[in-house]
Amino acid sequence: MTARTFADKPTGPLSGIRILDLTSVVNGAYGTQILADQGADVIKLEDPGSGRGDGGDIMRWAGHLPEGAPKGMGPIFLTINRNKRSILLDLKSPAGKRALTKIIKGCDVIASSVRYEGMKRLGLAYEDVAAIKPDIVFVHAAGYGSDGPYAGEPAYDDLIQSASGMADILPRTDGDPTPRILPTLVADKVSGLFLSQAVTAALLHRARTGEGQFVEVPMFECVTSFLLVEHLYDHTFQPPTGQWGYQRVVNPNRKPFKTKDGYIGLLPYTDKQWDQFFDAAGFGEQVKSDPRFADYATRAKHTRELYGMIEQAAATKTTQEWLDILKPLSIPVVKTNQLDDLPDDPHLKAVEFFQTYAHPDVGAYRLMKPPVKFARTPSNLRRHPPKLGEHTDEVMAEFGIDLGEG
């Protein structure tokens, strides 16, 4: 497979914006990578004494590297730190503090996931930073909002899934009362999306008014808001008119459906689509004569039974047979992919979603293309995920900083 080459300059809508990135792990780092893909110059400040091993972002040390590759370039770090520059600064040293002051003056945004009390101890509270750069956009990825009793407490994906109600969704689906955490870093990634949107909104305000501001992005509130879009459900009303949890979704039969040779994802939606699907399966008359499935309102009250009927029907044909029958009818259907299937998925191949690059130290590695498409200002990939401190000398030279001074 031929390795791609990077673009030589940013073309995204945030080209010309400079972000000082004090985030790490997944939440903040995912958010700042989105901004970097969209053209921002993201300077990732790493501490030589933080994390494991030789310091830096702890995600550098997770996972299995190819034999002979230098440490500190773990797979998760690679997926959320491209297009960034890494500098090493000891913020507790006088030279590090002086350097940071100069860098802040040249930045538009500071994004941090360091606990705010820690930022205060470093002299990096919003008021301290705004005294250096009055129009700075200061975005703090917090665990919990500063106005509540949990403010300042540590927060990780597992904790936020537990606190937000996320761990209560599977029990409401399958009847097993044991709370369970979803096997993906959903809290971190959702919060990272909120962070990236908050940065761009605050930059728009600054462009209109000249004002910087402090922006707090609390994981607990972000993830709870995200979850309850549908699952507040009948508790939207006061007093409640029914249950927590969107009835169609907290349904044990809502799942990929087994075919003769695999699985499909399937969701007829309109009355016509339901009739067409069950006609194709040979269950048409049975379903049409059942008052539980007469229209949208009655189907909604009997989603478990309805999805059980889909399960029976799906098993009557192969995956490809269902695709051939249902796609021409515009009935929503897809083949259910396993992770191993994704690199060969025809759509992902056509849009060149997976892209291979050759890192000078790690060797060939796979990146995912930025998914959002800007017609006039496309996101692009310009830099490998950085080695720890790789750009320290380069950035110091740009800002006229001599770390050996004094």
Q: What is the pLDDT of residues 87-99, one digit of tens each?
A: 999 988 899 999 9
Instruction: Tell whether the model's pLDDT for residue 256 goes beyond 60.
Output: yes
Query: Quick one: average pLDDT of 224-233?
Result: 98
Three-class HEC string of 139-155: EEEECCCCCCCCCCCCC
Decide if pLDDT at 86 tops 70.
yes
d(CA 353, CA 350): 8
Report the top-level CATH class of 18-227+346-398: alpha beta
pLDDT digits (tens, 9 = 90+) for 274-327: 889 888 888 888 888 888 877 777 877 888 888 888 898 999 999 999 999 999
Q: Which residues pair with 45 in a beta bridge?
A: 87
- Domain 257-335 sits in CATH at 3.30.1540.10
- Which of 18-22, 31-35, 282-286 is predicted with the least confidence, judged by mean pLDDT? 282-286
Average pLDDT rounded to a whole number, residues 26-50: 93
On the CB side of 270, how many CA atoms lie within 13 Å of its CA? 7
328-356 residue pLDDT tens = 999 999 999 999 999 999 999 999 999 99
pLDDT at 187: 98
Q: Are 156 and 43 in contact (CB under 8 A)?
A: no
SS (H, E, C) the chain: CCCECCCCCCCCCCCCCEEEEECCCCHHHHHHHHHHHCCCEEEEEECCCCCCCCCCCHHHHCCCCCCCCCCCCCHHHHHHCCCEEEEECCCCCHHHHHHHHHHHHCCCEEEECCCHHHHHHCCCCHHHHHHHCCCCEEEEEECCCCCCCCCCCCCCHHHHHHHHCHHHHHHHHHCCCCCCCCCCCHHHHHHHHHHHHHHHHHHHHHHHHCCCEEEEEEHHHHHHHHHHHHHCHHHHCCCCCCCCCCCCCCCCCCCCEECCCCEEEECCCCHHHHHHHHHHHCCHHHHHCCHHHCCHHHHHHCHHHHHHHHHHHHCCCCHHHHHHHHHHHCCCEEECCCHHHHHHCHHHHHCCCEEEEEECCCEEEEEECCCCCCCCCCCCCCCCCCCCCCCHHHHHHHCCCCCCCC
pLDDT at 35: 98
The predicted structure's pLDDT at residue 1: 62
Please write down the HEC assignment for all residues of 99-161. Answer: HHHHHHHCCCEEEECCCHHHHHHCCCCHHHHHHHCCCCEEEEEECCCCCCCCCCCCCCHHHHH
Nearest to 194 by CA among 154, 232, 142: 142
CB-facing half-sphere around the CA of 249: CA atoms within 13 A: 13
Is pLDDT at 53 greater than 60 in this prediction? no
Is it the case that residue 50 has pLDDT exceeding 60? no
Within the chain, all domains assigned CATH 3.40.50.10540 are found at 18-227+346-398
Largest CA distance in the chain: 87
Average pLDDT over residues 116-132: 96
Across the chain, mean pLDDT equals: 93
Lowest mean pLDDT of 34-48, 173-187, 303-317, name the range.
303-317
Would you say residue 52 has pLDDT above 50?
A: no
**Is the pLDDT assigned to residue 166 strictly greater than 90?**
yes
350-403 pLDDT tens trace: 999 999 999 999 999 999 999 999 999 999 999 999 999 999 999 999 999 988
Would you state the pLDDT for residue 282?
Answer: 86
- Tell me the percentage of the chain whose pLDDT exceeds 70: 98
Higher pLDDT, 268 or 35: 35
Residues of the chain with CATH 3.30.1540.10: 257-335
Say what the pLDDT of residue 51 is: 45
Residue 13's pLDDT is 98
Average pLDDT over residues 203-212: 98
Written as six digits, the tokens of 263 are 């699985």
Which of 55-59, 121-125, 179-183 bottoms out in mean pLDDT, i.e. has the lowest?
Answer: 55-59
Mean pLDDT of 203-214: 98
Starting at the earlier edge strand, list the strands of the sheet with 41-46.
84-88, 41-46, 18-22, 109-112, 137-142, 213-218
Q: Which residues of 81-117 are buried (b: 16+ CB within 10 A; e: fewer)?
A: bbbbbbbbbebeeeebeebbbebbeebbbbbbbbbbe
